[in-house]
Chains A and B, each alone.
Chain A
Amino acid sequence: MSDVAARIDAIEIGGRRLRVTETGQGPVLIHLAGARGSGLIPAHALLARRFRVLVFESPAPLSVGAAEPPEALAEGLAAATQRLGIEAFDLLGTSAGAPAAVALARHARERVRALVLEAPLLLDPARRDEALEHRLGELTVPTLVLLGTEDTVLPGAVGRAYKALIPGSHLVFVYAAGHAIAADRPEAFAEVVGDFLERHEAFVVSRARSVILP
């Protein structure tokens, strides 16, 4: 990542210091990357052309089996970003970062412009969580859910549950991507995420150029 300007910092959240990596310019995109932490990947460089991307590490569990409740993390992030002078932002939740992203989209709904869930570890097909389904149903932010067609962690059938629960949401399958969609297909990831964040539901209208020769 030597050609991408990046700043690494630490943010005080709920009495703990979380690392955050920042790159790019433009509207703010907050990325809760789950287990991958705050390191940058090529997809971030692509998004950094249009967005000021802040990648937050997930807090380590306070003790074995006691993961940080997403609501607490969401409140801490909302306050921390306010202290940084960030008013409105786009939000990307990846894998285990998805619960906190959903919580933040609920908690700070006036400030979150759009939400992207990348291979979310949230709905469990094996057991229904009606409270979670209710919370998803209350989301008011434009939402895009991404699933990789080769994801061996999440079954492809879970996508339809998110689409059905989250009002006005969009579901996109990323072909030949596993659970780590952005890592497997950075350009494909950046294109659909960038387009959705820019245009929300209008992203279904193609702007692709098909002229082969003038």
Chain B
Amino acid sequence: MVTSGLVKVSFFETARYCTPRPLPAEWPVASGGYEAEAGAAAYRGMIERLRCVEQMGFDWLSVSEHHYSPRILTPSPIVAAAFLAAHLERITIALLGPIVPHSNPVRVAEELAMLDTMTAGRLVVGLLRGTANEAMTYDLNPQEARDRTDEGMALILKAWTEPEPFGWQGRHFQYRTVSIWPRPRQQPHPPTFALGTSRESLQFAARHRLGCGVSYGPFEVMGRATRYYREECARHGWAPAPEQILYRANMLVAETDEAAHALLRAQSAQAPFSMRAGVRDAVAALDARNIAGEARSAVVTGALPTTFIGSPDTVVEQVRRCREAIGAGVIDLSLHPPGAADLAPLTRALDLFGSKVLPRIREI
């Protein structure tokens, strides 16, 4: 396991929509509950916050794709990234990432090529299958999600790199004459990750020389996935650089360990996307997932784990352990639960992280 080399730090931005009105927890959340002023404030606040994040020296910022809920207000990570790119001069923008199976892969390839060009090559791309609830966003059959993701990712890579107009005779996608303009600025394409712990996603990443990204789980469990990934890369005759292994996680940093754990206790224990029981069961039945081949449930019951928690000293040590266990050269951090009503804790966490943790992570 490679333990030398800098760890890159990414800030996971969720475009925080805050309202004093209590919002229903069930997904999808009724669109009629949306308040225009809160939405406008969410995107303005995003820019202000990310200017600070850039100032502090974070290497990347990241945005994700989630729909039909105020919890993460970026149904189009590409639109979010374009907006951010116009306001932020230096920081790398990571799209973690476009949900491939319900998208038009050629359009994703085109839009990412535009973004890469508009940002002068500051783009990083993570492609993924999406959380279980997202299958319902655009009426995707969960049983087809894996195959559509694999084919879609292959088509995106081909669209970025094939100089002649080409047809694609796929199982789920068919085109006769693809020829994208612009092409990505970074060649052969922006740094690209296949996100997910499944054997299929890790195999795809290894085969196509992409990075891998894992999220939220305990270090040992995530380490099994990244170990499998590195074995698969070796089978294909190459070794990934540390920054080709990414770990997205929740972090609760406070002045003391006790204060951090108190923050955790005060959080909601609710699952991020609460579906009705019948829906949840139907999705779980159709959506088979695995961690490097070991079966796991598609549906998250309860809140996502927080694997970095404590005082700055404790958290720095956890980052070191994470580096050893997972081999991740990039950690993508959420410092405050998305969907929380109050933003003050986020500001405090950001200040503390920026001053007491980030400079020391550089020395790991």
Name A's B-contacting residues (CB within 8 A).
146, 149, 156, 159-160, 163-164, 170-176, 185, 188-189, 191-192, 203-206, 208
Total number of A-B contacts with CB less than 8 angstroms? 58
Q: Which residues of B contact A159 (CB under 8 A)?
A: 162, 164, 166
Interface residues on B, range: 10 to 19
Task: For the complex formed, measure the closest distance between the CB of B292 and the CB atoms of chain A, giving whole angstroms.
Answer: 23
Contact between A192 and B167 (Cβ–Cβ < 8 Å)?
Answer: yes
Q: Which residues of B contact A163 (CB under 8 A)?
A: 164-166
Q: How far is the CA of A4 from the CA of B280 in the complex (A)?
A: 47
Q: List 20 A-B contacts (CB under 8 A).
A: A146-B169, A159-B164, A160-B162, A160-B163, A163-B164, A170-B176, A171-B164, A172-B166, A173-B168, A173-B169, A175-B168, A175-B169, A175-B171, A176-B171, A188-B170, A188-B171, A192-B167, A204-B167, A204-B177, A205-B176
A206 touching B176 in the complex, CB below 8 Å, given contacts A160-B164, A171-B166, A173-B166? yes
Name B's A-contacting residues (CB within 8 A).
151, 154-155, 158, 162-171, 173-174, 176-177
User: Secondary structure at chain B's binding surface: helix, strand, loop or mixed?
Assistant: mixed
Contact between B154 and A149 (Cβ–Cβ < 8 Å)?
Answer: yes
Q: Which residues of A contact B165 (CB under 8 A)?
A: 163, 171
Contact between A171 and B167 (Cβ–Cβ < 8 Å)?
Answer: yes
Within 8 Å by CB of B169, from A160, A174, A206, lies A174
Q: Which residues of A contact B176 (CB under 8 A)?
A: 170, 172, 203-206
Task: For the complex formed, measure the closest distance between the CB of A89 and the CB atoms of chain B, giving whole angstroms.
Answer: 23
Q: Which residues of A contact B168 (CB under 8 A)?
A: 172-173, 175
Task: For the complex formed, measure the closest distance between the CB of B179 and the CB atoms of chain A, giving whole angstroms.
Answer: 11
Contact between B169 and A192 (Cβ–Cβ < 8 Å)?
Answer: yes
Other than A171-B166, A188-B171, give 20 A-B pairs with Cβ distance below 8 A.
A149-B154, A156-B158, A159-B162, A160-B162, A160-B164, A163-B164, A164-B164, A172-B166, A172-B167, A172-B168, A174-B169, A175-B151, A175-B155, A175-B173, A176-B151, A185-B169, A189-B169, A192-B169, A204-B177, A206-B176
